Amino acid sequence: MSFSFTKANLERIEVLKNRYPSTQALSLPCLWMAQYQEGYITLDAIDVISETIDVPAMEIYRVATFYTMFHLEATQKKRVLVCKTLSCKLCGSEGILEHLKGHDVLVEHVECLGSCGTAPVMQIDDVNYENLTPEKVDTILEALR
Amino acid sequence: MREALIVSRKFSLEESHTLAVAQEHGAYKTLKKLQNLSPLEVIKIIKESGLRGKGGGGAPAGNKWALMPQESEKPSFLAVNCDESEPGTFKDRQIITKDPHLLIEGILLTCYAIKAIHAYVYIRGEYYQYQQVLQVAVDEANAAGLLGDVKITLHRGAGAYICGEKSALLESMEGKRGHPRLKPKQPEPEWYFGNPTLVNNVETIASVPFILEHGAEAYRSYGTERSPGTLLFAMSGHVERPGVYEAEFGVPMMEYINHFGGGVKNGKKLKAVIPGGASTGVLTAKEAEEVLLDYESLRAMGVSLGTGGMIVMDEETSMVAVLKNLLEFYHEESCGQCTPCREGTGWVDKLVGKILDGRGSSADIDELLEIAETMNGKTICVFAPAVSAVIVSFLTRFRDEFEAAL
Amino acid sequence: MMVQVIVDGKNYEAEEGSLLIDLLIKEQIKVPYFCYHEALGADGNCRMCMVEIAGQKRPQIACDTLVKPDMEVSSKSEKIEKVHTDILELELINHPVDCPTCDQAGECSLQDFYMDYGLHESKVRIEEKVKHDKHVDLGANVMLDQERCVLCARCTRFTDKITHTHELGIIGRGDEAKVSTMPGRKLHNPYAMNLVDICPVGALTSKDFRFKQRVWFLETANSVCHGCAKGCNIYIDHHKIKYEDDMIYRFRPRRNDAVNGFFICDAGRLSYKLLQNNRQTMIRHKDEIISEEKSIALYQSLLKQYKNSITVVIDANLYNEEIEALVDYAQRIGAEVCAPLECYDDTEFADTMLKSAKRAANYEKVVKMGLDRTMPKTSGLIINFNHTETFYAEMQIDFSTHQRPNASFILPIAAYSEQSGSLTNEDGLVQMCEKAVHKNSPSPTLREWLQKVGL
Ligand SMILES: Cc1cc2nc3c(=O)[nH]c(=O)nc-3n(C[C@H](O)[C@H](O)[C@H](O)COP(=O)(O)O)c2cc1C
Ligand code: SF4
Ligand code: SF4
Ligand code: FES
Ligand code: FES
């Protein structure tokens, strides 16, 4: 199984190449595109990115392992990012985490999501769900099924 | 408390993020003023306004702008810092979703002053939904021909607190790991692929249009002598109405919390306040009663103003658990480059965990303070010193709670 | 411009704007450091090389401090020693401190430093330390122990900046960060074993050397690698275990900025095995072992028999002094001389870093002396001095360090490691090699043989 960027992404990459002083700047954008395409980042994708932007594969791999939002492993489950940092904790994130154990989702404990004023919060597919209560969690996950 | 709306003036408008509404309320008017102002004159006005960076450090913005070369063979860049990952901070997010055109206007003014051809907005990866609002606004402004020769590119991060540190941000924008760079030996611009670059926080840039529209004096009419203007202060934690509310510098902390936030949640008593994001230390309720919200007053208390994102804690909060929570954050977020920080953050997290579990001894407290000392002033960036200050701040103010947990 | 600098109260001279740490290293002023390496430059990550500089509030890292005129530096004050101790202590927090079973013991900066600073035990119990893999085979004979690694990034900078092969990287973040190759991939560059020398601790070790010998038993001699005409400077590390013979355990690069810098290639590094194995130790004629006396008589009768039809063949790996002596000898006995070189040309071996296409250590000497570089033409008697090629003649005498399967008359000689001499490298530089190995029953050197057969 080998990786290739979709036509639309290849076009985006060409556009981006003109917006940075060096193609090396494209490693994060390319990793994002690869991740949206496949659900996670494969070694094949890393090799393709390496060739596309002329950066050693190891450098891309190092980068991919530095940022917590890049996943190098596949999962069938829905990823649910729950903030466990202070404001959310003060507002009951522990209860939300406990409640999520009853759902068949992949829970990731993450650091502050910038929703401290609307805590507790979880993020699914790039969307923040705020002012959570256990009931609200059930409704949201039900709707996303 | 008097109203002081400089950045959040349009926040409450319906559809405030659209170009139509923004322009109806005066957006982009200042661009015309540039015809009669040279770049250096703009920088002079910013210097006179006393505008201070709102990303946490509070550095005078004008001085930083003045470091940018007016004549340069290399292209100059602006990098707008929207990494906003400091726990307790959620203000830049309001700007890019509620008044993105204010930021764009600020970017255009700034680029004019520092002769930058391209502005990048580095947005934390978790803010993708908000990034899209800003992207629509950029596209709208571009389509309306407002951007002129300036390009604006939004650059998405991917989950790393340290990328908010300016040199790490540029490393990340260069496509690398977010490792802070060694400090330069004398004041100089930042460098993006070897090109001179200015890094400013979203709110700093969003304050620029007001200053150019109304003048430096108008900005200085808010705030204090040394902390002029306003800040999007914010509250979270145990408070009735958490949120972001703009206020001028120098207002009493408790007055702010009571006025905007409706006081401590559920009528409980206040125990402590973290004044401006996790890394700024902690104040006791008594100190919170006394302190004013400006850089100097907080510094005098041995804490800092940071981003102005206050975290309020009621009487039932365990300070040991709070410190443990914060240290977990730092343990998770250290970039791992330098030894004292990489090893120190993990170790202090374990030590406080031990105390929290009731397995601690007084030697552990001493060791915590010792490691805090090693983490202070010996690392590449100020992440580790900030962690050190947090530990010291908690242990000096709430030592009895830690000792009771042994 | 050279300027005055004061370190610990003493005056030194240094280039203005040069790195302070270079001065400290050069003057052997001991400050602990891991990440700085003269070939790799400063990275500033270990934070160990802290010094106090008059006028600066905070301690500064010497590897990122530029020398200024009249700078006053303190590397030993109580305050700075405490800084060193404290940082070192943090470094040890997740380190296994398993020196007794570590191959690097004796050449480990971490061990040196913590002995210097009197730290003996880490405060963290083993079971609480961050666990990593202790036996990662990186390929190319290099083993990685991730727990011993201090994340100085020397190794990754080596594959990035020196070999440009980018196999290694630090992955992950915070205290979960570790050195690794990409999943399923290995080191694949011909200089990989330099990583073992570059690693300041025992995290990268040589599979070839692992556990064979404790380093403090080894004796060392300065020599030059015989793998090609580049003439990379090496240390020959050898040791004689009681009742056994003196053995070479490894070659290591010896710094020479005019030739090889800090490094040597892996082929050269491992060439000690070829040097040591399959040695010729006896004098043989046909299938018989004969005495030295008998061999000299036989040699002389052959010389008489083939008078006017003799060629002396010289191997281009012999020392300058040996080659000169042989040319002289050939003239005396009226023999032709040749030193066939073609078989040493190997363009596949060559690269732009160190490896030369001329795979004989003294190639340049042969060229310089204007010797005949073709194969021998006489079909009478060939006296071969250690050339490995096969020749065709009625009779052949081989003076040889190594066994030659079909030799009819073979006399053992000492290898280069068993005597001193000089070599001329491809850039014309003459370099000395010391005698390293003292065999229990040494073979005569080539020059000794020439005396024996009657000069
Ligand atoms: C660990 C760390 C994290 C930081 N995070 C942010 C951030 O998220 N946003 C920000 O604007 N500044 C952040 N900063 C401050 C930046 O380094 C920089 O000073 C700032 O962006 C400059 O802009 P300003 O002068 O307009 O505040 C951080 C600094 C450190 C040391
Ligand atoms: S202090 Fe911490 S975050 Fe800053 S560079 Fe060092 S390891 Fe990274
Ligand atoms: S393996 Fe050795 S050289 Fe590489 S980072 Fe670790 S300690 Fe440094
Ligand atoms: S603490 Fe949870 S979003 Fe900020
Ligand atoms: S040698 Fe200076 S910081 Fe590592």
Read off the tokens for B326: 């914060």
Same domain as C299, residue C438: yes
Same domain as C392, residue C311: yes
Domain contains B58: yes
Domain contains B6: no
- The average pLDDT across A64-68 equals 98
- Distance linking the first and last C-alpha atoms of chain C: 57
Taking CB atoms and an 8 Å cutoff, what residues of chain A touch C182? 43, 46, 57-58, 61
How is chain B split among helix, strand and coil, in percent rounded to 5?
Answer: 50, 15, 35
Q: Which residue of C has its CA nearest to B159?
A: C173
- The CA B164 to ligand 1 mean position distance, Å, reads 5
Please give the number of the atom of ligand 4 that sits closest to the Cα of B89: 4
Q: With CB atoms and an 8 Å threshold, state whether B339 touches C44.
A: no
Which pLDDT does position C92 carry in this prediction? 86
Of B336, B370, B371, the CB nearest to C174: B336
Q: Which residue of B has its CA nearest to A123?
A: B126
CB of C279 within 8 A of CB of C402? yes
Taking CB atoms and an 8 Å cutoff, what residues of chain A touch B174? 22, 24-25
Domain contains B5: no
Domain of B388, in residue numbers: 319-404
CB of C333 within 8 A of CB of C403? no
Same domain as C413, residue C302: yes
Q: With CB atoms and an 8 Å threshold, state whether A57 touches C170.
A: no
- The CA C9 to ligand 5 mean position distance, Å, reads 23
CB of B45 within 8 A of CB of A74? no
Residue A110, strand partner residues: A83
Of B345, B373, B378, the CB nearest to C174: B345
Does B107 lie at the interface with C, CB-CB under 8 angstroms?
Answer: no
CATH of residue C9's domain is 3.10.20.740
Task: Write the CA distances from C21 to B338, C17, C188, integer angstroms.
Answer: 18, 12, 32
Taking CB atoms and an 8 Å cutoff, what residues of chain B touch A84? 325, 328
| Residue A141 Cα, gap to closest chain B Cα (Å) | 18
Domain contains B340: yes
Domain contains C145: yes
Q: With CB atoms and an 8 Å threshold, state whether A43 touches C173.
A: no
| Structural domains present in chain A | 7-66 (1.10.10), 78-143 (3.40.30.10)
Spell C199-222 as b/e; 16+ CB within 10 A means b: bbbbbbbbebbeeebebeebebbb
Does C124 lie at the interface with B, CB-CB under 8 angstroms?
Answer: yes
Pocket of ligand 1, beta carbon within 6 A: B 53-57, 59, 81, 83-86, 162, 164-166, 199-201, 204, 381-383
CA–CA separation, B261 vs B240, rounded Å?
6
Domain contains C214: no
Same domain as C304, residue C434: yes
| Residue B213 Cα, gap to closest chain A Cα (Å) | 31
CATH of residue C308's domain is 3.40.50.740
| Residue B325 Cα, gap to closest chain A Cα (Å) | 6
CB of A79 within 8 A of CB of A124? yes
| Residue B390 Cα, gap to closest chain A Cα (Å) | 14
| CB-ligand 5 contact for C49 (6 Å cutoff) | yes
Mutating which of B89, B120, B126, B135 best tests the A interface, going by the most A Cβ atoms within 10 A?
B126
Same domain as B191, residue B150: yes
Q: Is the peptide bond before A120 cis (omega within 30 degrees of 0)?
A: yes
Same domain as B30, residue B133: yes
Q: Which ligand has the nearest atom to the CA of B202?
A: 1
| Residue C162 Cα, gap to closest chain A Cα (Å) | 14
DSSP helix/strand/coil, B382:
coil
Does C29 lie at the interface with B, CB-CB under 8 angstroms?
Answer: no
CA–CA separation, C222 vs C429, rounded Å?
16
Domain contains C445: yes
DSSP C19: B
Total number of domains constituting chain C? 4
CATH of residue B259's domain is 3.10.20.600
Same domain as B149, residue B96: yes
Same domain as C164, residue C30: no
CATH of residue C187's domain is 3.30.70.20
Same domain as B172, residue B44: yes
Same domain as C202, residue C113: yes
Domain contains B225: no
CA–CA separation, C126 vs C138, rounded Å?
25
Read off the tokens for B39: 């770049």
Q: What is the pLDDT of residues B161-220, one digit of tens each?
A: 999 999 999 999 999 999 999 999 899 999 999 999 999 999 999 999 999 999 999 999
Q: Looking at C32, C64, C91, which one is the last position of a domain? A: C91
Q: Looking at B262, B280, B314, which one is the last position of a domain? A: B314
Q: Looking at B314, B330, B355, which one is the last position of a domain? A: B314
Domain contains C345: yes
Which pLDDT does position C126 carry in this prediction? 65
Same domain as B81, residue B202: yes
Q: Which residue of A has its CA nearest to B261?
A: A117
- The CA A83 to ligand 4 mean position distance, Å, reads 6
Same domain as B209, residue B85: yes
Q: With CB atoms and an 8 Å threshold, state whether B278 touches A126.
A: no
Torsion of CA C296, C301, C304, C307, to 10 degrees: -80
Domain contains C447: yes
Q: What is the pLDDT of residues C400-414, one digit of tens each?
A: 999 998 899 999 999
CA–CA separation, B298 vs B393, rounded Å?
13
Neighbours of chain C (3+ CB pairs under 8 A): A, B
Q: What is the pLDDT of residues B301-320, one digit of tens each?
A: 999 999 999 999 999 999 99
Which pLDDT does position B173 carry in this prediction? 98
Domain of C293, in residue numbers: 284-452
Of A19, A53, A89, the CB nearest to B325: A89
Please identify which residue in the block is written with the tokens 């609307």. Answer: A118
Nearest protein CA to atom 6 of ligand 2, as residue: B338
Domain contains C124: yes
Angle between helix axes B383-397 and B319-333 (nearest 10 degrees) is: 170
CA–CA separation, C194 vs C262, rounded Å?
9
Q: Looking at C236, C251, C276, which one is the last position of a domain? A: C276
Phi-psi region of B310 (alpha: psi -120 to 50; beta: other; left: phi over 0): beta
Q: Which of C357, C159, C354, C196 is nearest to C260 (CA)?
A: C354
| CB-ligand 5 contact for C48 (6 Å cutoff) | yes
Total number of domains constituting chain B? 3
Which pLDDT does position C43 carry in this prediction? 96
Q: What are phi and psi of B196, to 5 degrees?
A: -60, 135
Residue C219, strand partner residues: C238
Q: Looking at C44, C74, C91, which one is the last position of a domain? A: C91
Residue C19, strand partner residues: C66
Each residue's pLDDT tens digit in chain B (406 positions)?
A: 899 999 999 999 999 999 999 999 999 999 999 999 999 999 999 999 999 999 999 999 999 999 999 999 999 999 999 999 999 999 999 999 999 999 999 999 999 999 999 999 999 999 999 999 999 999 999 999 999 999 999 999 999 999 999 999 999 999 999 999 999 989 999 999 999 999 999 999 999 999 999 999 999 999 999 999 999 999 999 999 999 999 999 999 999 999 999 999 999 999 999 999 999 999 999 999 999 999 999 999 999 999 999 999 999 999 999 999 999 999 999 999 999 999 999 999 999 999 999 999 999 999 999 999 999 999 999 999 999 999 999 999 999 999 999 9
Q: With CB atoms and an 8 Å threshold, state whether C167 touches A58.
A: yes
CA–CA separation, C145 vs C405, rounded Å?
43
Does B359 lie at the interface with C, CB-CB under 8 angstroms?
Answer: no
Q: Which ligand has the nearest atom to the CA of B279?
A: 1
Torsion of CA B319, B325, B329, B332, to 10 degrees: 130
Q: Which ligand has the nearest atom to the CA of B332?
A: 2
Please give the number of the atom of ligand 1 that sits closest to the Cα of B202: 11
| CB-ligand 5 contact for C41 (6 Å cutoff) | no
User: What is the radius of gyration, based on Cα positions, of chain A?
Assistant: 18
Domain contains B57: yes
Q: With CB atoms and an 8 Å threshold, state whether B238 touches A29.
A: no
Interface list for B 342-381 with A (CB within 8 A): none
Same domain as C167, residue C61: no
Domain contains C68: yes
Q: With CB atoms and an 8 Å threshold, state whether C44 touches B338.
A: yes
CATH of residue B353's domain is 1.20.1440.230
> Which residues neighbour B365 within 8 Å (Cβ) at sequence distance 6 or greater?
B355, B395, B399, B402, B403, B406
Q: With CB atoms and an 8 Å threshold, state whether A66 touches C183.
A: no
Torsion of CA C213, C214, C217, C218, to 10 degrees: 60
Same domain as B201, residue B78: yes
Same domain as C137, residue C37: no
Does B379 lie at the interface with C, CB-CB under 8 angstroms?
Answer: yes
| Residue B177 Cα, gap to closest chain C Cα (Å) | 9
Neighbours of chain A (3+ CB pairs under 8 A): B, C
Domain contains B9: no
Each residue's pLDDT tens digit in chain C (455 positions)?
A: 999 999 999 999 999 999 999 999 999 999 999 999 999 999 999 999 999 999 999 999 999 999 999 999 999 999 999 999 999 988 888 888 888 778 777 778 888 877 777 765 656 666 677 788 889 999 999 999 999 999 999 999 999 999 999 999 999 999 899 999 999 999 999 999 999 999 999 999 999 887 666 777 899 999 999 999 999 999 999 999 888 899 999 999 999 999 999 999 999 999 999 999 999 999 999 989 999 999 999 999 999 999 889 999 999 999 999 999 999 999 999 999 999 999 999 999 999 999 999 999 999 999 999 999 999 987 799 999 999 999 999 999 999 999 998 899 999 999 999 999 999 999 999 999 999 999 999 999 999 999 998 75
Which pLDDT does position C121 carry in this prediction? 60
Domain contains C213: no
CA–CA separation, B249 vs B255, rounded Å?
12
Cβ-Cβ contacts under 8 Å between A and C: the total is 29
Task: Write the CA distances from C140 to C62, C153, C251, C274, C382, integer angstroms.
Answer: 34, 19, 16, 18, 41
Same domain as C436, residue C313: yes
- The CA A22 to ligand 4 mean position distance, Å, reads 35
Same domain as C181, residue C164: yes
A1 has a pLDDT exceeding 60: no
CA-based torsion, C421, C426, C430, C433: positive or negative: negative
Same domain as C447, residue C314: yes
Q: Looking at B314, B339, B365, which one is the last position of a domain? A: B314
Q: With CB atoms and an 8 Å threshold, state whether C182 touches A66.
A: no
CATH of residue C244's domain is 2.20.25
Q: What is the pLDDT of residues A5-62, one digit of tens each?
A: 999 999 999 999 999 999 999 999 999 999 999 999 999 999 999 999 999 999 999 9
Which pLDDT does position C171 carry in this prediction? 97
pTM, full prediction: 0.95
Which pLDDT does position B307 carry in this prediction? 98
DSSP C159: I
Nearest protein CA to atom 2 of ligand 3, as residue: C199
Mutating which of A55, A62, A68, A71 best tests the C interface, going by the most C Cβ atoms within 10 A?
A62
**DSSP per-residue codes, C349-418:** T--SSS--SB-STTHHHHHHTT---S----SSEEEEES--S----SEEEEEESB--TT-SEEEE---GGG
Task: Write the CA distances from C168 to A18, A56, A113, B62, C160, integer angstroms.
Answer: 30, 11, 33, 43, 8
Taking CB atoms and an 8 Å cutoff, what residues of chain B touch C66? 185
Domain contains B7: no
Same domain as B340, residue B295: no
Same domain as C350, residue C440: yes
